[in-house]
A and B are shown apart, each in its own frame.
Chain A
């Protein structure tokens, strides 16, 4: 039984239908024949937050293994089978979901469908690829040990979410990755690859009947219920201080943040507008203007709002030469305080709104991007009407809404900060930051 709902965007249309397959799975379909390509994306609830204790990185390893052999094909044979027809198949883990992407030429859909379904329903998890994937991840982790960007992210997360899965890296650590066993991976595969909570999108030169067949062959036979263990809310810690990590490099890498506003809060979109004004994409944010344009302190500076299933937070970054790193942080803190204390102007709010609205269609200009967006929208708990609703609601955000959201977001302006490098120099007004060693 098929339900068809057509939801146009404000300009032009993404001709979207919500379809139910013969086996009762729901997916979102965009049928378009201009390019002979099919793209599918899916997300299953769980993700890295389901890493077993002491085994951070396990789900990431699992994601790396799902295309390393399935059914009758060992790793080599499986890759040859994919490469025979230039079929692109990959899996990835995020904090709260385990997902995958399939892309193929329409003429090779049958083959792609078979291999995709095998990967999900009969992953082999052979010993050789387990060792190899674990070693590849370990090589990456070794590199990250002295990579300022990775170090700053970890230091920040450990400070802010100690004892919670969000405080760990999704790729784990050398110790935790070494502890992951095949039994762990089999258990995770069984628990996380299930029908419940699946979000699926299919885009491209494919009919509804074929798309439903693709979805059913891949997902219909999975266990009905998923085995996700409950994850507690993550409490934000460490405001008002700096986690300083010494590294002998010419620049200091900085990460900063504060608790945010959750996805289902009425002020959530207003908060996004505020973050767009403060540190958003493009070359015109407040932080860009003050840190890069006016003072030449950094090549890159940004801040955004991250909404996960169990936490929401403001997160930002910059990198500045050591002698002026404290100055960079002070400038950022100063802008945040201004925004928190009602400094937002009507004109910049309107510009932030216009940007968020006008930039939305740009997320939909390739089949894989459309599929990704449609899965994201489902992950955030919205229906197909979000394609129009999102912009409508952003359009309704007023200056008062933005100021209220800013006050709620930034409070007294204190931040939780991590700095990797050898920062020195004048700080300006102090937020209670500990001096670097």
Chain B
């Protein structure tokens, strides 16, 4: 139920003549706008052998164009008191600014300019490659937990590019250069491949006018690239992956299953899996938390997470932090017992009611944040969903019958579909 003045009630969608999509989400409570450009390409579209190029290009997009040399855009955002950043995911890359509303036209001008005007030299590319290598060192190489996550994803996706880290493998990042970046840029950074999201203190008609003025003059490039990734074959073997390191003082357990996404699932199925994740591990009233943390007292934390917003088959993750002295084999056995019990006994009616209340409430809470709404819509459209589908999500969640959740668990939480990951302490080498 949305209030007439609420942001979701007034979302509007447009398409420019050159194929660019625009979503306007008005929210007049603060004189601020969130301006985002999403490109329908992500790490999973990196060419083989060039892992990390989507992410590297994201960095290089801040290095200047013909019209606006390196640093000018960022300097201007800072000058205006704005915030900017960008992120690369498996399926999309997005750039955004948050500024006082009167600066929206200027942000659009800059963003439209760098969609086609990027200029790169080796002098610019080389230090930035070093920065990316430092980023990888900082977030991954020094962190056994991150190393385990990478290993789990690589084992889960034996053939599909979701198994390659977004930042890339070190030895491939080292070989990325100017030509790789420009080739990728020309392929994917086109108006047909872009979605502009404007959320905040601007009327949709005004957002459209500004978009036409700034993005409308970009030449259409032709049909949007069809993205084809290698398909992950149906899994047949349950896998165990372990990282042992002397820096690990707190062991942990995780399991990742291959599950259908919002795009590959049957109608209603991804909503059922969403509810399944919440029932199993969505907080302190969840099944895993109650069984492992409260009842058996073999864990200090337990949770679940479903990455439903993906183009291809995706991850369904369970994680548990053991209590001191508890072995990870025992932890895994307990998790399996919880799942088996769920399959046998079905969904508790109160728990289902709570789960639906929570997920539907999330959609209402999201309306309180223009930035959250902008991300929600941007990600949905970038993977091929529609505004109507986003608006209809709470109703679809509400409509999921209990049996569908049990059926989803039975079908997708099969051991053979999963990779179990152990993070263990190792004694230092003598």
State whether A366 touches B285 (Cβ < 8 A).
no
Question: What is the distance, in angstroms, from B237's C-beta to the closest C-beta of chain A?
Answer: 31
Kindly identify, within residues 245 to 293 of chain A, every residue whose CB is under 8 Å from any CB belonging to chain B.
247-251, 281-284, 292-293
- Answer whether residue A173 sits at the interface, using C-beta atoms and an 8 A cutoff: no
Residue B3 contacts which of A34, A103, A299 (CB distance < 8 angstroms)? A34
Chain B contact patch, size range? 35 or more
State whether B100 touches A136 (Cβ < 8 A).
no
Kindly identify, within residues 71 to 95 of chain B, every residue whose CB is under 8 Å from any CB belonging to chain A.
71, 74-75, 77-84
State whether A296 touches B128 (Cβ < 8 A).
yes
Question: How distant is the Cα of A102 from the Cα of B256 in the complex, in angstroms?
Answer: 33
State whether B30 touches A361 (Cβ < 8 A).
yes
State whether A249 touches B142 (Cβ < 8 A).
yes
A-B residue pair count with CB separations less than 8 angstroms: 204
Note all chain B residues with C-beta closer than 8 A to A368: 368
- Answer whether residue A429 sits at the interface, using C-beta atoms and an 8 A cutoff: no
State whether B71 touches A35 (Cβ < 8 A).
no
- Answer whether residue A416 sits at the interface, using C-beta atoms and an 8 A cutoff: no
> DSSP class of A's interface residues: helix, strand, loop or mixed?
mixed
Note all chain A residues with C-beta closer than 8 A to B349: none
State whether B294 touches A365 (Cβ < 8 A).
no
- Answer whether residue B7 sits at the interface, using C-beta atoms and an 8 A cutoff: yes
Kindly identify, within residues 170 to 211 of chain B, every residue whose CB is under 8 Å from any CB belonging to chain A.
200-201
- B-binding segment of A54-62, A82-90, A304-312, A329-337: A82-90
Kindly identify, within residues 336 to 368 of chain A, every residue whose CB is under 8 Å from any CB belonging to chain B.
351, 354-362, 364-368
Note all chain A residues with C-beta closer than 8 A to B137: 250-251, 321
- Answer whether residue B343 sits at the interface, using C-beta atoms and an 8 A cutoff: no
Question: What is the distance, in angstroms, from A86's C-beta to the closest C-beta of chain B?
Answer: 3
Size of A's binding interface in residues, CB under 8 A = 71
State whether B29 touches A365 (Cβ < 8 A).
yes
Kindly identify, within residues 98 to 151 of chain B, every residue whose CB is under 8 Å from any CB belonging to chain A.
98-102, 126-131, 134-135, 137-138, 141-143
Question: What is the distance, in angstroms, from A288's C-beta to the closest C-beta of chain B?
Answer: 9
Note all chain B residues with C-beta closer than 8 A to A155: none
Note all chain A residues with C-beta closer than 8 A to B75: 284, 351
Q: Which of A83, A145, A299, A300 has the most CB of B within 10 A?
A: A83
Note all chain B residues with C-beta closer than 8 A to A360: 81
Report B's interface with A, CB cutoff 8 A.
Answer: 3, 5-7, 27-32, 62, 71, 74-75, 77-84, 98-102, 126-131, 134-135, 137-138, 141-143, 200-201, 246-250, 283-285, 290, 293-294, 297, 300-301, 321, 323-324, 350, 353-354, 357-358, 360-362, 364-365, 367-372
The 6 closest A-B pairs by CB, nearest first: A358-B81, A86-B361, A296-B130, A12-B31, A359-B81, A296-B127
- 17 further A-B contacts with Cβ under 8 Å, apart from A33-B5, A293-B71, are A12-B201, A35-B3, A79-B284, A83-B354, A84-B357, A128-B294, A132-B300, A138-B324, A250-B142, A251-B138, A282-B77, A282-B84, A299-B131, A355-B81, A361-B30, A361-B32, A365-B200
